[in-house]
Amino acid sequence: HMPSGTTLLESAARTYGRRAVGLVLTGMGGDGAEGLLAIRQAGGLTLAQNEESCVVFGMPGTAVERKAVDHLIHGDEVAATLARLARGESLAVGR
């Protein structure tokens, strides 16, 4: 097993730049944090699941520690949040 969240998100940052949206959900370890940071540095939008709704806050927590997260969202709100973004709506509340 080789974690690949960071690889995926770094590719999105390179390909889409400020149009990229990255999301890290519950999970062990720190996979995805550096990729989320790459998206944020490219001007894209970064999201992570909040601690309250995570089974394991490892991956989102590492992203928060790296200051790679623009918005923390509840796991139950992931689909609605992504739908809002797809419609071109902004997220008014930050972390």
pLDDT tens-digit series, residues 16-26: 999 999 999 99
- Does 81 have pLDDT greater than 50? yes
Contacts of 26 (CB under 8 A, 6+ apart): 49, 53, 54, 55, 56, 57, 59, 60, 75
Sheet bearing 71-73, strands edge to edge:
21-24, 45-49, 71-73
Find the helix packing angle between 33-41 and 58-65, rounded to 10°.
40
Q: Which two tokens stand for residue 24?
A: 């890290």
0.85 exceeded by pTM: yes
Q: Which fold has domain 5-86?
A: Rossmann fold (3.40.50)
How far apart (Å, rounded) are the C-alpha atoms in residues 41 and 73?
Answer: 20
